Structure 1
Amino acid sequence: MQTDHHLGRSWRSRWERHPGVRTGSRLTLGERAADRTRLVMGSWPFVLSFLAVLVVWITGNGRHGFDPYPYILLNLVLSCLAGLQASVLLISARRSDQVSSELAMHDYRTNRSTAVAIASLQSEVADLSAQLARVEALMKTRL
């Protein structure tokens, strides 16, 4: 998990604080689970702990354990895990797409409101410029 060096917080917490992204109680149970799963399964601690479990399984069983070589039960567990993990990763990817869409929509709304504000300011500047030109013309006629 990458951190923000100034705040010491994860990148995830940066978008969780973004005003355009729904968080907390506004998320469904499935969306919260997808966020947590993505953080756990996409991390080095998960990979290293998974490798540790494999090493313990293989060394603990050897030739005389409850699942001796060629580790039929281990193969079954890994196959089931791979099937579930593919589904979980797709769900997490869909949630990431949803977050990206929410961020893009927020940016779009911000850009539109900024464009409206800029147009309004340009109109005011044009009006003030016209008034200034009239005042200058009036001043020249009085002199």
Structure 2
Amino acid sequence: MNRKRPIRARVSDEEYQLLQSLRSRKPAQNPPKQPLSLGDRVSDGVAAVMGSWRFIIIQSVILAFWVILNVVGVIQHWDPYPFILLNLMLSFQAAYAAPIMMMSQNRQATIDQVDAKHDYEVNQKAELEIELLQDKLNWLREEEIVELKTLLIEQQQIILRLETLLVERLQK
């Protein structure tokens, strides 16, 4: 009995080709990492800084300090209430921060898609390998059953011979 035949008969040519290509790849091999461009590194750095509690706390302290100095400023109010200059600076910061963070998120989404594809291929390989193992176990079980049946028939024949010998001796 051909051991590859059961799985080959149950999977499509595409699945079988995928299994063969996945088998040639080492199991722990991860998808290759693309080198980061300067823009990627900058956007990741900005996103990491602006997305941290440290940045939020420092910015909150600076904003509070700005407001307090301009409300109770003894010397000069450089940005009196309603803090038009502060609003302009925060709008300027938001105008640049949002697209930079989006670039970082888009790059991360691309990395996640590559990782998800790799995970899917690994899962497919695992599924097909499990099917192959199940087929091999079934084949071994069938072989064992055939062997046990053969042994059982031989034992029955031996028992019959022994019975006939015993009957012949008792008759003598």
Q: CA deviation at 1:56?
A: 2.6
Q: In structure 1, give the amino acid aligned to 2:35.
A: R
Match of 2:78 in 1: 67
Distance 1:63 1:83 in 2: 33
Match of 1:26 in 2: 35
Q: SS at the partner of 1:69?
A: coil
Which one of 112, 115, 138 corresponds to residue 100 of structure 1?
Answer: 112
Distance 2:47 2:128 in 1: 38
Change (3 A) 1:42 1:63: same
Q: Percent identity?
A: 28
Match of 1:134 in 2: 146
Bigger RCO of structures 1 and 2 (CA < 8 A, at least 6 apart): 2
Q: CA deviation at 1:64?
A: 4.5
Q: CA deviation at 1:73?
A: 2.8
Q: CA deviation at 1:66?
A: 7.1
Q: SS at the partner of 1:26?
A: coil
The answer to whether the Cα contact below 8 Å between 2:31 and 2:118 also exists between their aligned partners in 1 is yes
RMSD over aligned Cα atoms = 2.5
Number of aligned pairs? 123
Q: In structure 2, give the amino acid aligned to 1:26.
A: P
Distance 2:154 2:89 in 1: 96
Change (3 A) 1:30 1:116: farther
Q: In structure 2, give the amino acid aligned to 1:119.
A: E
My pick for the range that moved more, 131-140 or 99-108, is 99-108
**Rg larger in structure:** 2
Gaps of 5+ in 1: 1-18
Q: In structure 1, give the amino acid aligned to 2:64.
A: V
Question: Could you list the per-position Cα deviations for residues 89-127 of structure 1 after superposition, in whole angstroms to 9, with x for gaps in the alignment?
Answer: 222321332233233122202101101211111121121
Gaps of 5+ in 2: 1-29, 156-172
The answer to whether the Cα contact below 8 Å between 2:44 and 2:101 also exists between their aligned partners in 1 is no
